[in-house]
């Protein structure tokens, strides 16, 4: 009788142990599967935007892989200089030059713009002041008049030039203009330095999908 009890107790303990062991193996399998699944999922990057006027941040979640692709995208802005006549630029390129708000255009390359494109009344009617930009359309391209001074006999400043460039950039964005040909704007009789002007161009247009070709006319 005593032996039977011991045998029965042994069998019962064995069954309990086996059941516990099987449950332990199942739990380990579930944990392992969950770990593999977490490793396969893309990481999430939490970005906190600048604090609002109420002192609160809105939380945005973005996929880290997509963010890396966006940050590594190469800009398509390019500025190059060539020797040649600005008015020989391809018609795929819009043109730009500097003028006074009175649109007299009586000296320098502005004289050629006035002779070729005219429509001074239309330019004046736009009422653009220093720091703005007036436009004419020539077929599929635009002619930009960077108004960098109140009167044609005056002198521009780097601030007024920059403001006009920003105004032109906004127009170009809205009208999908991606190619531009210019002289050394603001230099020559206007007296600005090309190194500083080109730095302003790079600052204003960096990051834009834009090709700027600077034409330096060399008489032969």
**CB neighbours (10 Å) of residue 101?**
22
Annotated catalytic residue within 74, 78, 174, 190: 190
**Helix, strand, coil fractions of the chain, as percent rounded to 5:** 45, 20, 35
Assess whether 138 carries a catalytic annotation: no
**CB neighbours (10 Å) of residue 35?**
10
Do 211 and 179 touch, CB atoms closer than 8 A? yes
List phi, psi (to 5°) of 142.
-110, 150
Burial of 4 (0-12, 13-18, 19+ CB in 10 A): exposed
Assess whether 195 carries a catalytic annotation: no
Length of the chain: 220
Q: Helix, strand or coil for residue 173?
A: helix
Annotated catalytic residue within 149, 179, 195, 196: 149
Residues annotated as catalytic are 149, 190
């Amino acid at each position: 009788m005593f032996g039977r009890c011991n045998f029965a107790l042994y069998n019962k303990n064995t069954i309990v142990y086996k059941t516990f062991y099987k449950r332990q193996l199942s739990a380990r399998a579930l944990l392992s599967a969950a770990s593999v699944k977490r490793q396969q999922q893309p990481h999430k990057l939490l970005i906190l935007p600048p604090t609002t006027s109420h002192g609160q941040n809105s939380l945005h979640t973005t996929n880290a892989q997509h963010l890396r692709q966006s940050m590594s995208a190469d800009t398509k802005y390019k500025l190059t200089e060539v020797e040649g006549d600005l008015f020989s630029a391809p018609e795929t390129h819009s043109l730009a030059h500097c003028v006074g708000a009175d649109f007299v255009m009586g000296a320098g390359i502005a004289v050629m713009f006035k002779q070729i494109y005219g429509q001074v009344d239309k330019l004046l009617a736009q009422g653009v002041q220093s720091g703005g930009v007036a436009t004419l359309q020539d077929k599929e391209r635009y002619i930009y008049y960077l108004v960098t001074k109140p009167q044609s006999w005056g002198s521009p400043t780097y601030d007024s030039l920059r403001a006009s460039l920003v105004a032109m950039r906004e127009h170009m964005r809205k009208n999908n203009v991606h190619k531009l040909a210019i002289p050394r704007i603001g230099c020559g009789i206007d007296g600005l330095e090309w190194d500083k002007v080109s730095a302003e161009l790079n600052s204003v247009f960096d990051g834009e999908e834009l090709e700027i070709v600077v034409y330096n006319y060399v008489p032969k």
